Every structure is written in structure tokens, then in C-alpha cells.
Structure 1
Amino acid sequence: MISLTLCMIVKNEEAVLERILNPVSEIVDEILIADTGSSDRTKEITGQYTSQVFDFPWCDDFSAARNFLVEKVRTDYWMWLDADDVMDEKNLEKLKLLKASLDKKVDVVMMEYAACFDSTGKVTFSYYRERILKTSENFRWSGKVHEAITPTGNIFYSDIKIQHRKCTQRDPDRNLRIYQKMLAEEEKLEPRHQLYYGRELFYHQKYQETADVLEAFLEEPGTWIENRIDACMILGQCYNKLKKNDAALEAFLYSLTLDIPRAEICCEIGKIFLERKWYRQAAYWYGQALTAPSEKKKGGFFMAECHGFVPYMQLCVCYDRMGCHEQAFFFHKKASKEKPDDPGVKYNTNYFREKYGLE
């Protein structure tokens, strides 16, 4: 059995801390906590689970805080979690079994990170993250914000899933503020952070700035293919916001030169043709979304609804407007199996019943 340390950085997390610390503390051998300036009961709560709670003055650098803890690890492996992460009983049991059986030749354990959910609790957005790392390999975080570790060596993909469940609204400007401070101090953003800076600009509706940053990112040589595809996705959405639909389509189609089509991209292309009322072309691309492989383990962002519910709903629209009502109804039934309580599904159920007598 391996020995395992949990590393967490926290600040004002009294509302969620016990939700994750209580169950995980029974599995790990040690817990290291860096508190970056709590003013609530966070330190009191963490003190119930570990004596190793350290004050770390916040310096607008998440990697510095995380690496501060990593350097204190003495076990075979270490694991990171955020305070608002959740592990259900099934995945906690899987973690316990993994700890007991992990081959010590493994350097990095990857786990799926579920970040967004629909009203029924179904995961709509997820991606794989490096989650457990071998101490002797001296892995370290990089990036002041959107920090990460590049997985290297013997990498094992676990079927353990961790949920990121926020309970409170964080400072929405924090990440953008950190990037802007870096740029003001003439700190060059490496390509990955150009992408994430572009994302932050997009979230803040600074669309022309987003486009400028992402166009420059796509000119960078040797960048990770999943980041390039993600940049195409955001860039296309950005141009849509700017009412530059041809440029949006060009950005989405450029991603097809990088790798096989992603369902998320296919849905965006289908949306452009649907808005143009080119229903046959739109149906083609939504159909392609249904055939696209998940590619989860390549590390890119995965939007589950683009592999089923979204194309089913839109194919229903396309075929209905082409006058192919039986085919439209077929895709309506597919969508209703995935989300029977969705308002759009309920509307379509009434539509097909009242207009065509289809049940």
C-alpha cells in the first residue's frame, strides 16, 4: 500500500470544508493545509483534521501556495483537492482501493473532474486532471492562476470522479486581475496562459480583446493540440458575439485541421448553419456530433450534452423545418429519454401531439 498526503490551499471555506475533509481524512495518511488569509472558522475546522495547518500570505500566485505544501510532503505520493470538491461514497471507496493497490511504478494518477451539472445533477462539463503524484518525481505546479502540472512518466487513468461543487460566488474578477497585473509588470504569458487569459477576457465580454489574444495564441508554434482546439472553440464563439459569423465558422473549421472533429465544435458549426436556415447543412453537422468519439483521456474539455442531448434537440428542429416530421419526432424521442423534464422537450412533446398526433 502506498502512503498518501492530501494537500489543500484554503481561504474562508467554513461552509464546505468538512464535506470533503471528513471522508477523505479516513483514507489519506497525512493532511497539509495552507491557509491564505481566512477570517471565518476555516482554521478551526482544519485543526480538527490535522495539526499541519500553515499560514501562507496571499501573493496572487496559486502555484506558490500549492508548491509551499508539496515541498513538505514526506509520503510516497500526494494528492490535491479544492475545499469545494466533493467525493461520493462510490468514489471514496474507489480511492481507498486505489491507495491499497496502486503500482508504485505509476508516477501520475489522472482523475475526471466534473465541473458543471444540470438541474438533475447530471454532469455536463468535465475533464481529466493530474490528481495523485509521486513525491520522488518532484512534480511542481506552474502558473500564478489556472495552475497545473504537466503529467509525465508512467501515467495511470483512474475511473475515480471528483465533483467541483461551488456553494458561494467567488470573486469573478480575480483571475483576470492577476493576468492583467502580470502584463502590467511586463511578465510574458507563456502560451497556455495566453489561452486562459483569452478565456477570462471572453467571460468578461471583452470580445475584440479576446479575439486578438487567441489569434496570437494560435500563431504560437508547438502548443498542445487540445489547447489549440479549445482556442478555436472560444474564438469562434467570440466572433459570433461580434456578429462576424464567417470568421466564427472559419475558427471552428480550423480546428478540424488539428484533429478529428470534436462534438462540441460540430454543434457550434451546426448552430451557425441553423441560424442561416441552412437546415440540411446544420443537420449534417449535428449528426457528426453524435458520431464523434469522447476523446476524454486526451485531456480536453468534455461537454456531455454535445454528444447527445444538444444534437438530438437540434436535429429535431432541422428535420421538422425540412418537412421531415417523422424523422424530427424520432430525434425528439431521443432527446426526451435523456432529459424528460427539460422545458424544450416538454414543448416539443405538446407540439408533436397537437400538430401531428404523434405520441
Structure 2
Amino acid sequence: MITISLCMIVKNEEELLARCLDTAKDIVDEINIVDTGSTDKTKEIAKQYTDRIFDFPWIDNFAAARNESFKYATKDYILYLDADDVILEEDRVKFKKLKETLDPSVDSVSMYYNAGSDEYGNVTLRYRRNRLIKREKNYEWRGDCHQYLDVHGKIINSDIAITHKKIRHAVGRTISIYEKKIARGDIFSPRDYFYYGNELRENGHYEKAIESYDKNLSMPEGWIEDKIFACIFKGDCYRHLGDLKNENFSLFQSFQYSSPRAEACSRIGYNFHRQKNYKTAIFWYELAIQQEPDPERWSFIYPAYYTWYPHLQLCVCYYNLGDYQKAYYHNEQARKYRLEDNSVQHNKKLLEGLLKTDKT
């Protein structure tokens, strides 16, 4: 059976660190904590789980800190987690089985990262990451922020998920790192422009985000998946700016890079929906629910756009067209994911009344 070193970088994580370590401590064989300048009780909490606690000054570079944490690993494989990550019980069971059965010739195991969830327990954002990597390969992190592991060799994809459970968003922190890169005159890669655009968008700087996404799209190199979502996210920026024409243009632009994704189709459907063009909206919502996200896909997957969201919108569209039977059907499909949703419950009661009236 393989052995595992858990490597983490932390700073002021007294609220979350124990929660994370409680879900991982019996899976791993060693815990290494690199502290980048905590002023709270983070180190005291860490000492309850390990004596392998190290200091590293924060230099506005996540990759440097993560690489530092990897230096202390002594076991066969390295697992990394953030303090606001947890391993849910069903994934802990899968993880333990993986540990018992993993072929030592494997260089890396990718796992899902469930980066968000709604109030009903549905995953809202999922993507893959190289999560369990062979120590002797000396893989390194790249990038000041939104860093990635430069991994090659024998990689297998698992169905294990690491779940992100943040309690607050670090507003502006990552933007400042990018701004320092700009001030230094650093050359941005397509990936830098994509993630800088994401940070700008998430912090409400929509016009600057559009500029960053366009710079990504103008460069022939770069990951095609980033370009697909640069188009979709650029559309979101135009929506916030009230520019419907350019929003639709951006969403259709994503089709240059792949077949239609549900993330784009659902948005296009909504644009026709809000214009009360229900038949056209139905076409796009139906196209969305026909898509199935590839479980092997590494880029962003937003499950709502493949499931409850287009069904709920189809319910509204068919209601407005007077087709209460189809409206009821799609509301029931949405209810599978959002049983306690007040709007779904309201629709169910309303439509059951209308269908009963029709029969009489």
C-alpha cells in the first residue's frame, strides 16, 4: 500500500483548519503545514495534528509557497489541500480504497474539485485537478496565482472529489497580485489573461474583464477550454453592463471552439426568455438539457445548466404558452434537484390546480 504526505499552506485559518484535517488525518501518513505568517491560533491548532510545521514568508506567490510545502514530504505520494477544503465521507471511503489498490507506477491521480455548492447540496462548479502526485517525480507548481501543477507521465482519473467549503471570499487579494505583475512588466500568458479576467469579473470590474478575456482570445496559443469560458464569461460581463447584443455575440463566439455547451445554451435561452420569445428560448433550454458533461473533462463544469436550471425555465416558458402538462413535467424534473425550493413548490401547486381544472 502506498504512503501519503499531506502538504498544506496556511495563513490565519483558525476557523477552518481543524475541519479540514479531521477529514484527512486518517487517510494520510504525514501532515506538513507551511505557515505563511499567521497571527491567530492557526499554528496552535496545527500542533494538535502534527509537529511538522514550517514557516515561509509570504511573497505574493502561491506557487512558491506550495513548492515549499512539497519539499517537506517524505512519503510515496503527495496530497495537497487548502484549509477550506474537506473530504466528504463517501469520498473518504473511495480515497481509502484507492490508497490500498493504487498501482505504484501511476504518477498522478486526478480528482474532482467541487468548488461550490448550493443550499440544497447540489454541486455548482466542478473541475479536475492533479491531486495525488508521486513525490519522486518532483513536480512543481507554476504561476503566481491560480497556479497549476506541471504534471506529466502516467495519470489516471478517479471519481473521488475534494469539496471546497469556504466561508468568505478574499476580495481583491488575487487582483493585487496580478496588478503587481503588470507593474513589474511581466509578460502575461493566455492563462494569465483568462484568470485575471475571472478575478476582475468576480470583483465587478466588467469592462476591464472583457479586455482581459479578449486578450486571451486574440492569442493563438492557450488552452481551448479557457477560450470557451472566456467567451461565456465575457457574455456575463456584457449582461451586467446591460449590453444584450454583445452578450449574445460572446456566447455564440464560444461555438467557434467547441460544440454548444449547456453553460452557453442556458444563457442564450434566458436572453430569448426575457424577451418573451418563449419558443426560441425553449429550443435553447432543450439543447442545454440534451448535453451531458464529459466526466473526464478537466475544465469548468456548472452542473445546474445541464439539470435543474433549464428544466425550471422550460416550466415557465411552457406555462406562458399555455402547455401546462409540459410545464408540470419540467418542474418535476427540476424538483429532483431542488425539492425544498419555494419557487418549485409554488409551481407544483399552481400547475396541479390548472391541470385538475382542465380535466373537469
TM (normalized to structure 2)? 0.95
Aligned to 2:261: 262
Instruction: Give the Cα–Cα distance (whole angstroms) in 2 for the partners of residues 330 and 153 of structure 1.
Output: 47
Instruction: Give the Cα–Cα distance (whole angstroms) in 2 for the partners of residues 191 and 42 of structure 1.
Output: 36
In the alignment, is the contact (CA less than 8 A) between 2:23 and 2:86 conserved in 1? no
* SS of corresponding position for 1:298: coil
Residues 1:176 and 2:137 aligned together: no
* SS of corresponding position for 2:149: coil
Residues 1:31 and 2:31 aligned together: yes
Aligned to 2:40: 40
In the alignment, is the contact (CA less than 8 A) between 1:128 and 1:296 conserved in 2? no
* SS of corresponding position for 1:149: strand
Aligned to 1:234: 233
In the alignment, is the contact (CA less than 8 A) between 2:6 and 2:28 conserved in 1? yes
Aligned to 1:185: 184
Q: Which moved more, 1:141-150 or 1:191-200?
A: 141-150
* SS of corresponding position for 2:72: coil
Aligned to 1:323: 322
Pairs aligned (count): 358
Aligned to 1:121: 121
Instruction: Give the Cα–Cα distance (whole angstroms) in 2 for the partners of residues 18 and 337 of structure 1.
Output: 34
CA deviation digits over 1:282-325, x for unaligned, max 9? 10110011111212422111111111110111111112222322
* SS of corresponding position for 2:265: helix
User: Aligned-pair distance for 1:132?
Assistant: 0.6
User: Aligned-pair distance for 1:357?
Assistant: 3.3
In the alignment, is the contact (CA less than 8 A) between 1:86 and 1:164 conserved in 2? yes
Aligned to 2:212: 213
Aligned to 1:107: 107
Instruction: Give the Cα–Cα distance (whole angstroms) in 1 for the partners of residues 188 and 333 of structure 2.
Output: 45
Tell me: CA distance 1:358–1:195, structure 2 relative to 1, closer, same or farther (3 Å). Answer: farther
Instruction: Give the Cα–Cα distance (whole angstroms) in 2 for the partners of residues 354 and 170 of structure 1.
Output: 43
Opposite residue 14 of structure 2, the aligned amino acid is E
Instruction: Give the Cα–Cα distance (whole angstroms) in 1 for the partners of residues 256 and 202 of structure 2.
Output: 26
Instruction: Give the Cα–Cα distance (whole angstroms) in 2 for the partners of residues 120 and 357 of structure 1.
Output: 30
Runs of 5+ unmatched residues, structure 1: none
Aligned residues with identical type, % of pairs: 39
In the alignment, is the contact (CA less than 8 A) between 1:271 and 1:282 conserved in 2? yes
CA deviation digits over 1:89-111, x for unaligned, max 9? 22222212211211112111111
Instruction: Give the Cα–Cα distance (whole angstroms) in 2 for the partners of residues 314 and 341 of structure 1.
Output: 17
Tell me: CA distance 1:133–1:324, structure 2 relative to 1, closer, same or farther (3 Å). Answer: same
CA deviation digits over 1:246-276, x for unaligned, max 9? 2111111121221222111110111111122
* SS of corresponding position for 1:74: coil
Instruction: Give the Cα–Cα distance (whole angstroms) in 1 for the partners of residues 23 and 217 of structure 2.
Output: 43
Opposite residue 52 of structure 1, the aligned amino acid is R
User: Aligned-pair distance for 1:350?
Assistant: 3.3
CA deviation digits over 1:138-167, x for unaligned, max 9? 211111111111442211111111111113
Aligned to 1:157: 157
Instruction: Give the Cα–Cα distance (whole angstroms) in 2 for the partners of residues 86 and 352 of structure 1.
Output: 40
Aligned to 1:51: 51
Instruction: Give the Cα–Cα distance (whole angstroms) in 2 for the partners of residues 212 and 118 of structure 1.
Output: 30
Opposite residue 256 of structure 2, the aligned amino acid is T
In the alignment, is the contact (CA less than 8 A) between 1:267 and 1:289 conserved in 2? yes
Instruction: Give the Cα–Cα distance (whole angstroms) in 2 for the partners of residues 56 and 350 of structure 1.
Output: 58
User: Aligned-pair distance for 1:355?
Assistant: 4.3
User: Aligned-pair distance for 1:48?
Assistant: 2.3
Residues 1:96 and 2:88 aligned together: no
Opposite residue 137 of structure 1, the aligned amino acid is K
In the alignment, is the contact (CA less than 8 A) between 1:63 and 1:144 conserved in 2? yes
Aligned to 2:341: 342
- The root-mean-square deviation of aligned C-alpha atoms, in Å, is 1.7
Aligned to 2:291: 292
In the alignment, is the contact (CA less than 8 A) between 1:352 and 1:358 conserved in 2? no
Instruction: Give the Cα–Cα distance (whole angstroms) in 2 for the partners of residues 83 and 170 of structure 1.
Output: 13
User: Aligned-pair distance for 1:122?
Assistant: 2.4
Instruction: Give the Cα–Cα distance (whole angstroms) in 1 for the partners of residues 259 and 180 of structure 2.
Output: 37
In the alignment, is the contact (CA less than 8 A) between 2:107 and 2:155 conserved in 1? yes
In the alignment, is the contact (CA less than 8 A) between 2:120 and 2:337 conserved in 1? no
CA deviation digits over 1:46-75, x for unaligned, max 9? 122222211111111111100012123232
In the alignment, is the contact (CA less than 8 A) between 2:23 and 2:88 conserved in 1? no
Instruction: Give the Cα–Cα distance (whole angstroms) in 2 for the partners of residues 318 and 65 of structure 1.
Output: 50
In the alignment, is the contact (CA less than 8 A) between 1:296 and 1:302 conserved in 2? no
Runs of 5+ unmatched residues, structure 2: none
In the alignment, is the contact (CA less than 8 A) between 2:7 and 2:70 conserved in 1? yes
Instruction: Give the Cα–Cα distance (whole angstroms) in 1 for the partners of residues 118 and 40 of structure 2.
Output: 31
In the alignment, is the contact (CA less than 8 A) between 2:314 and 2:330 conserved in 1? yes
Tell me: CA distance 1:315–1:190, structure 2 relative to 1, closer, same or farther (3 Å). Answer: same
User: Aligned-pair distance for 1:201?
Assistant: 0.9
Aligned to 1:14: 14
